[in-house]
Amino acid sequence: MSVSPDIPRMKRDLADLVALCTENPPGRETEAASYVAARLSEAGLDAVIDEYEPGRANVEARLSNGPGPTLVFNTHMDVVPAGEGWSSDPFVLREADGRLYGRGTCDCKGPLAAMLEAVRMLAAERSAWSGTLLAVFVGDEEVGSKGARHFAAKRPPIDFAVVGEPTSNTVYSCHKGSLRPIVRVHGVPAHSGTPHLGENAILRAGELLGLIAREHEQSVRRRTHPLVGEASLTVTRISGGHADNVLPGACEMLLDRRLVPGENEAEVKAEIAAFLARAQSELGVRAEIIGFKPTTGGATETASDRPIVRQSVAAAAANGIASPGPFGFQGACDLVHFRDAGAEGIVIGPGAALYGAQGRRIRPRRRIRRCELDLPRHRTPDAVGMTGWCSCCAGLR
């Protein structure tokens, strides 16, 4: 492409986005959605704000440019809570030592700023491509992906999706999924001075913990995928009891079940219910699933030999990425919902994957290197739908 990215403008966009507090919970994406929609309208797209719940919104924008496939750029506007430990205001973008600091610079307002600039570049050079470009920026990815689920439920006709997440500009073609069942273990309350008259739900939960560890080792972890590794089953929270001198009549635990591509959410739910039934038959532990906490969703993949994956990897390599992929996300993201809508897609974006995935919920700082904000001007003539941003710039045709 002959159009060059405007790096100062991208940094201004990023500063404006960081200043808009979209911590999730509670989300509050409407103000950010208004800002993003305005920038997309200025670029010549037809942009609308879809407020799917009070205070929660998506931005949907379209640029039709003749016959050809439909490509969507997607990332999310919400961020995790800022928390403590910042050396500067997390909602004021700060540049130091070649890095940009602020809540969301890595996950995911940096990728959002890059995508806004990519859209401008494509809108400015429509003779270089043909097809339909969508920009869909959503809310609630950090908790339950309500925004992406809402958009995908409309069954929009999409051929290809580029999902922005911090990957150090390497290509990810698949990701794990997650289920978080809330399990209640039942006991019989009694005075702690006469424990033989009751059944201690916490001790019963302890027995169940051993079965969970065995289930993970002997069954769940044996389900593997070449890019994301093993499935898993573990416990991340447990609580029980209401008084110091009373045997608890109930104990609740939160299970975390990570799915690999190829596993089905409904089938995994049924397996967990069957596992709890076995716990009762084997040990007499009475436990039930009382609900599921929201998660981003299930596992998904785009096959590594699909054109969008091959072209993305080639474009990343051509722009200096030494190990371009494809790789697999250990966490989850919104790609699954675009795959469910019928699109093939990949995940890519500026920002270190360490901070955007493994450390996204424990590190107070989000950083993005200035060089990772660049939009190389590489164009792959036979690309199937990728457009230029970060480490990929190819043409719709």
How far CA 222 is from CA of 216, 218, 233, 254, in Å, comes to: 8, 7, 11, 22
Are 86 and 46 in contact by the 8 Å Cβ rule? The answer is no
Angstrom distance (rounded) from CA 97 to CA 78: 26
Q: Cα-Cα-Cα-Cα dihedral of 178, 240, 215, 297, to 10°? A: -10
Average pLDDT over residues 77-92: 96
Catalytic residue flag (residue 141)? yes
Are 390 and 318 in contact by the 8 Å Cβ rule? The answer is no
If one compares 229 and 351, the residue with the highest pLDDT of the two is: 229
The phi-psi region of residue 241 (left if phi > 0; otherwise alpha if psi is between -120 and 50; otherwise beta) is left
Residue 313's nearest CA partner among 347, 289, 282, 340 is 347
Q: Domain residues of the chain, as ranges?
A: 7-176+298-373, 181-292
At residue 224, the 3 state secondary structure works out as strand
Angstrom distance (rounded) from CA 46 to CA 49: 10
Residue pLDDT, tens place only, 200-244: 999 999 999 999 999 999 999 999 999 999 999 999 999 999 999
Residue pLDDT, tens place only, 4-57: 999 999 999 999 999 999 999 999 999 999 999 999 999 999 999 999 999 999
Residue type, 250: A
Angstrom distance (rounded) from CA 153 to CA 92: 35
- What pLDDT is stored for residue 354 in this prediction? 54
- Cis bond leading into 294, ω under 30°? no
Q: Is the pLDDT of residue 382 over 50?
A: no
Q: Is the pLDDT of residue 318 over 50?
A: yes
Long-range contacts from 201-204, C-beta under 8 angstroms, 24+ separation: 201/240, 201/247, 201/248, 201/249, 201/250, 201/251, 202/240, 202/241, 202/248, 202/251, 204/251, 204/285, 204/286, 204/287
Catalytic residue flag (residue 29)? no
Residue 119's nearest CA partner among 20, 31, 37 is 37
Residue pLDDT, tens place only, 147-180: 999 999 999 999 999 999 999 999 999 999 999 9
Where do the H-state alpha helices sit in the chain? 7-19, 30-42, 109-124, 146-152, 201-218, 265-283, 307-318, 335-340, 353
- What pLDDT is stored for residue 353 in this prediction? 66
* pLDDT category of residue 352 using cuts at 50, 70 and 90: confident
- What pLDDT is stored for residue 3 in this prediction? 87
* pLDDT category of residue 368 using cuts at 50, 70 and 90: very low
Point out the catalytic residue in the list 13, 23, 140, 141.
141
Q: Do domains 7-176+298-373 and 181-292 have the same CATH topology?
A: no
**Percent of the chain's residues with pLDDT above 70:** 89
Tokens 């698949």 locate to 174
Residue type, 20: L
Residue pLDDT, tens place only, 319-344: 999 999 999 999 999 999 999 999 99
Are 105 and 64 in contact by the 8 Å Cβ rule? The answer is no
Which residues lie below 8 Å from residue 96, measured CB to CB, with a gap of 6+? none
Give the residues across from 287 on adjacent strands. 185
The pTM assigned to this predicted structure is 0.88
Long-range contacts from 354-363, C-beta under 8 angstroms, 24+ separation: 355/106, 355/107, 355/166, 356/106, 356/107, 356/108, 356/165, 356/166, 356/167, 357/165, 357/166, 357/329, 357/330, 357/331, 358/330, 360/80, 360/106, 360/107, 360/331, 361/80
Tokens 């999706």 locate to 161
Q: Could you tell me which CATH number the domain at 7-176+298-373 has?
A: 3.40.630.10
Residue type, 235: V
CATH topology of domain 181-292: Alpha-Beta Plaits (3.30.70)
- What pLDDT is stored for residue 2 in this prediction? 81
Which range is most confident: 316-325, 368-377, 387-396? 316-325
Q: Is the pLDDT of residue 256 over 60?
A: yes
- The DSSP bridge pattern shows strands 131-138 and 172-175 to be unpaired
Point out the catalytic residue in the list 78, 165, 199, 374.
78
Are 273 and 118 in contact by the 8 Å Cβ rule? The answer is no
Angstrom distance (rounded) from CA 19 to CA 307: 38
Angstrom distance (rounded) from CA 364 to CA 85: 6
